[in-house]
Amino acid sequence: MFPLHEPLSALLREELGAYDELTAALLSRRGVVTREAAETFLNPSYAKHLHDPFLMTDMPLAAKRLATAILSGEKIAVWSDYDCDGIPGAVVMHDFLKKAGADFENYIPHRHNEGYGMNEDGVEKLAERGVKLIVTVDSGITDSAPVARASELGMDVIVTDHHLPASSEVEGPILPKAFAVLDPNARADETYPFHGLCGSGVAWKLVCATLACEPQLRQKVPEGWEKWLLDMVGLATIADMVPLVDENRVLATFGLMVMRKSPRIGLQKLCRGMRVDQRTLSEDDVGFMLAPRVNAASRIGDARDAFRLFTTTDENEADELAKKLEKANRTRKAEAGAITRAVHTRIKERGTVRSVIALGDPAWRPALLGLVAGNIADEYERPVFLWGREGNLSLKGSVRNGGTTHILELMQATEGTFVEFGGHRAAGGFTVRDTEVFYLEDRLVEAHDHLTKGKPLEDDLSMHADAVVTPEEIDGTLLKKVEKLAPFGIENPKPVFLLREVAVREVSRFGKGEEHLKLKISAEEGRRSIDAVTFFAKGPVARTAGALEGGSRVNMLAHVERDTFSRGNPVRLRLLDIRLV
């Protein structure tokens, strides 16, 4: 086994000398280049590695105002988003306010009827119900008009968010005129040392600060009780795809710990329905199993079902709500499957696949298009833009990246085409006018080809790998080294291993429609073999799979993972790419 890329410098070898060569190389590739940083990364500590919440701008003001509202019996409303960041954040605030004995209610706007963020109709309803303080979760930073309306009606607003504010070339960032604005990404001079928190993370920081600033609250909220809220914070941190570095690494790590032993009956029922062992929940279980079911509630039905599932203490209600989310998720997958088939049909009808795929249909539900775009992008290895219509509103869509082009840069290069857009390297969302949609693909293809002109194609598998291994080296020792870097996610990807010229001993398919692929590979005849699997084979794996047979020689890229179903070797490979030699 040996790491790829440039060898570590003498200085780095000295700094990371306590670790084996592979671990040191993986750490350095993640920007962890000092002894202290390595210790922090590999051993995240709740006591040592969380930042002081009072470092966040406006936090002293917000915490004192919330504590005053709780103790004086003012009516509080928690206004949250309806996704897998907003819902857990709403649960965090609900559990805290309930424990503290506050007079409060949760307001979760309906995705299809009200849309994202605060709205003036909802604000006016809260005023009619006697609310004096609104606390937003994962929203509010761009809601200047609803915040102003709340102020007119005699309500204070504490914004907790992590999104970027609106801005103008003249004035710069435009913040809502709220009582307090807690958002580590809202100000150029923000004093909080980490900018990657999700919305639920910011809300939890407010809880911690409120407890710290008002000792009287500890009469009802015992010291350390707030740690039990980390199941929801961890869920949101992993699901919302924020960078899993710095403070988020602590929140995700301890969030998973709490999830595994959480007494939350709704979480238990959801895990049972998914046939996932709660005691061994991983970030993959959260990202690929839990989060889609929580998101399905708002995309197919009502987000409040997910909120009620995580806040109920009634076993029968939890059972019914878990089944409801499971049903919504099945409906989501069925609808997404129908859209996927329609996209495939239209691509085949066109005969050629351009450098960017941009397709849509007013009948497609925008909330489902991210999932479909991701699958199509993986299959065709290029950016995919899909759009649909929500009711009588604008055409909205999602984009996912199956290539190497930076998605946000691509959209910025065609800025005049979109009403609004946002995103990062791998994904984004957009709104487009009816009159522009017919030219969307042409403009994106032109911009893409201009951005990529002269750039080399990344066809060499070694360019994507962290290290080269042989089948004999894939064992429990290697797995432990890999798992020490978990939890994995944005800015801390799973290590990728390259296996060169390995022999395929067996090829088999499994699953209801034989859509999954399993290989047995080894270095030479008679040597120990290891399993390599891929689920829903697509992209480069799917293209090579048809030509594979016993005796084939291949180069492959793969993750190393624990095989919970094997009675023998507990380690297997998860195929990412495969090429015949």
pLDDT on residue 207: 99
And the tokens for 193? 């040392």
Q: For residue range 241-258, what is the model confidence (pLDDT) as tens digits? A: 899 999 999 999 999 999
pLDDT value at 171 more than 90: no
How confident is the model over 138-157, as a mean pLDDT? 97
Q: How many other C-beta atoms are found inside a 10 Å radius of the C-beta of residue 580?
A: 11
Domain 461-580 class, CATH top level: mainly beta
User: What rounded mean pLDDT belongs to the chain?
Assistant: 92
357 pLDDT higher than 80: yes
Of residues 524 and 364, the one with the higher pLDDT is: 364
Distance (Å, whole) CA 232 – CA 207: 13
Residue 564 pLDDT greater than 80, yes or no? no
Strands 553-562 and 571-580 turn out to be antiparallel
424-434 CB burial, b ≥16 within 10 A, e <16 = eebbbbbbbee
d(CA 86, CA 310): 13
Q: Which uninterrupted H or E stretch holds 408?
A: helix 407-413
Q: Is 463 helix (H, G, I), strand (E, B) or coil?
A: helix
Q: What is the pLDDT of residues 185-225, one digit of tens each?
A: 999 999 999 999 999 999 999 999 999 999 999 999 999 99
Output the CA–CA distances (angstroms, integers) from residue 233 to 34, 202, 241, 253, 254, in the order listed.
Answer: 28, 9, 13, 10, 9
Pairwise CA distance, residues 547 & 551, whole Å: 11
Nearest CA-CA partner of 499 in 460, 458, 555 = 555
pLDDT in tens, 37-95: 999 999 999 999 999 999 999 999 999 999 999 999 999 999 999 999 999 999 999 99
How many Cβ atoms from other residues are within 10 Å of residue 436's Cβ? Answer: 15
Q: How many CB atoms lie within 10 A of CB 75?
A: 17
| Cα–Cα distance for residue pair 540/103, rounded to 1 Å | 56
Residue 55 and residue 191 in contact, taking contact as beta carbons nearer than 8 Å = yes
Q: What is the pLDDT of residue 365?
A: 92
Q: Residue 227 is which amino acid?
A: K
Amino acid in the structure at residue 58: D
With bands split at pLDDT 50, 70 and 90, how would you rate the model's confidence at 459? Answer: low
Residue 168, pLDDT score: 76
Residue 563's pLDDT band (cuts 50, 70, 90)? confident
Q: Above 90 in pLDDT, residue 269?
A: yes
- Please determine, for residue 572, whether its predicted confidence score (pLDDT) is greater than 70: yes
pLDDT-derived band at 113 (thresholds 50, 70, 90) equals confident
Residue 213 in tokens: 């600033």
pLDDT at 420: 86
**How far is it, in rounded angstroms, from Cα 206 to Cα 179?**
14
Identify the CATH number of the domain defined by range 352-452: 3.10.310.30
Q: Is the pLDDT of residue 481 over 70?
A: yes
Phi, psi (rounded to 5 degrees) for 174: -110, 105
| 474 or 567, higher pLDDT | 474
Structure tokens belonging to residue 216: 């009287």
Q: What is the largest CA-CA distance in the chain?
A: 79
Interatomic CA distance for residues 35 and 225, integer angstroms? 33
What is the band of 235 on the pLDDT scale with cuts at 50, 70, 90? very high
The burial class, CB within 10 Å (0-12 / 13-18 / 19+), for 170 is exposed
pLDDT exceeds 70 at position 4: no
CA gap 100, 102 in Å, rounded: 6
**Residue 343 DSSP label:** H
In degrees, to the nearest 5, what angle opens at C-alpha 400 toward C-alphas 398 and 402?
160
Residue 132, token pair as written in the block? 């004096």
Measured distance CA(220)–CA(445) in Å, rounded: 59
Task: Dump pLDDT digits (tens) for 118-129.
Answer: 999 999 999 999
Which of these, 106, 108, 118, 101, lies nearest to 67 by C-alpha position? 101
DSSP class of 513: T
Q: Where are the domains of the chain?
A: 2-42, 53-262, 263-297+305-335, 352-452, 461-580
CA distance 511 to 327: 21
Residue 14: pLDDT band by 50, 70, 90 thresholds? confident
Per-residue pLDDT, 460: 64
From CA 568, how far away is CA 565, in angstroms rounded?
9
The SS3 call for residue 79 is strand
Mean pLDDT, residues 167-175 taken together: 82
Cis geometry, peptide bond prior to residue 243 (ω within 30 degrees of 0): no
Is domain 53-262 classified as CATH 3.90.1640.30? yes
Residue 111 has what pLDDT?
85
Q: Looking at the DSSP assignment, which residues form a beta bridge with residue 78?
A: 106, 135
